[in-house]
């Protein structure tokens, strides 16, 4: 009985890693140009919103930080900025730039946005996993993919996106005819710390120290 209990404890310690997604695909479009990062590393950039970038990435025990900078080339009210993206994980999770976050809506926060200066002038580590984005705002949601002012480009975009079809909405930091340089972040899962007390060897030692194997 005690041996069985020890095995169950070991399975409990390992189960989060076994259940977490390991890989994902990030699909991004921005009006007019964008640069995308995963865990602080640049994975894609583009300058034609009708031709999204598609990037594969790995998660660290179910954790990753997606960060995207979008620049609207037409200054001020003469143009309207927009950011469209989705994340498809290998466990079947779909995450779009919208209020709807699939089955993770109640447990994972949504996208965050921050209007600022051009990326060449921003040196605060906004794309890094440990950056504090608590002051960032919830983005304003616009048309869903295929509709609104970007609807005419959907057919061309689908040539790159393929399946599954994009369910996301275009978003921006506030009214999209004002800020021209906007930053976005999305956190997948929770970062697992490196506290030695949680290491498997230590936990296994703790189990044995409780004499679970003693008669």
Give me the number of domains the chain comprises.
Answer: 2
* CB-facing half-sphere around the CA of 40: CA atoms within 13 A: 7
Residue 20: what pLDDT?
A: 83
Q: Which residues pair with 74 in a beta bridge?
A: none
181 and 106 in a common domain: yes
11 and 40 in a common domain: no
Tell me the chain's radius of gyration from C-alpha atoms.
21
140 and 62 in a common domain: yes
pLDDT, tens only, 87-120: 999 999 999 998 655 554 444 468 999 999 999 9
Q: Which has the closest alpha carbon to 24: 1, 43, 52?
A: 43
Q: What tokens appear for 81 in the block?
A: 């900025």
129 and 95 in a common domain: yes
Alpha-helical segments (H) within the chain:
2-19, 154-161, 200-209
83 and 6 in a common domain: no
Q: What tokens appear for 47 in the block?
A: 């300058």
Residue 139: what pLDDT?
A: 95
Residue 42 has pLDDT above 80, yes or no: yes
201 and 124 in a common domain: no
Among 19-23, 58-62, 125-129, 177-181, which stretch is predicted with the lowest mean pLDDT?
A: 19-23
DSSP 129-144: TT---TTPBPPEEEEE
Residue 14 has pLDDT above 70, yes or no: no
3 and 94 in a common domain: no
Among 59-63, 174-178, 198-202, which stretch is predicted with the lowest mean pLDDT?
A: 198-202
Q: What percent of the chain shows pLDDT beyond 90?
A: 67
Residue 162: what pLDDT?
A: 86
The better pLDDT of the pair 26, 163 is held by 26
Other CB atoms within a 10 A radius of the CB of residue 9 amount to 16
81 and 30 in a common domain: yes
pLDDT, tens only, 126-144: 999 999 999 999 999 999 9
8 and 36 in a common domain: no
Q: How far apart are CA 180 and CA 172, in angstroms?
A: 10
pLDDT, tens only, 179-201: 999 999 999 998 876 444 434 43
Other CB atoms within a 10 A radius of the CB of residue 43 amount to 19
The arithmetic mean of pLDDT across residues 201-213, rounded, is 38
CATH of the domain at 88: 2.60.120
* CB-facing half-sphere around the CA of 185: CA atoms within 13 A: 22
172 and 69 in a common domain: yes
Residue 205 has pLDDT above 90, yes or no: no
Q: Which has the closest alpha carbon to 186: 119, 139, 124, 142?
A: 139
45 and 95 in a common domain: yes
Quote the domain boundaries for residue 92: 22-188
């Amino acid at each position: 009985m005690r041996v069985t209990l020890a095995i169950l404890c070991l399975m409990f310690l390992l189960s989060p890693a076994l259940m977490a997604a390991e890989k994902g695909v990030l699909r991004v479009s921005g009006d007019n140009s964008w640069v995308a990062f995963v865990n602080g590393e640049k994975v894609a950039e583009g300058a034609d919103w009708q031709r999204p970038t598609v990037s594969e990435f790995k998660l660290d025990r179910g954790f990753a930080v997606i960060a995207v900078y979008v620049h609207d080339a037409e200054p001020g009210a003469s143009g309207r900025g927009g950011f469209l993206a989705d994340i498809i994980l290998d466990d079947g999770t779909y995450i779009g730039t919208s209020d709807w976050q699939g089955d993770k809506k109640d447990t994972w926060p949504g996208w965050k946005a921050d209007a600022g200066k051009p990326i060449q002038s921003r040196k605060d580590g906004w794309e890094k996993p440990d950056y504090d984005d608590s002051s960032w705002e919830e983005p304003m949601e616009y048309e869903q993919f295929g509709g609104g002012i970007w609807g005419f480009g959907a057919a061309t975009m689908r040539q790159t996106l393929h399946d599954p079809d994009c369910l996301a909405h275009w978003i921006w930091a506030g009214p999209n005819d004002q800020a021209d340089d906007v930053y976005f972040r999305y956190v997948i899962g929770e970062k697992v710390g490196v506290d030695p007390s949680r290491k498997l060897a230590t936990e296994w030692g703790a189990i044995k120290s409780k004499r679970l194997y003693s008669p």
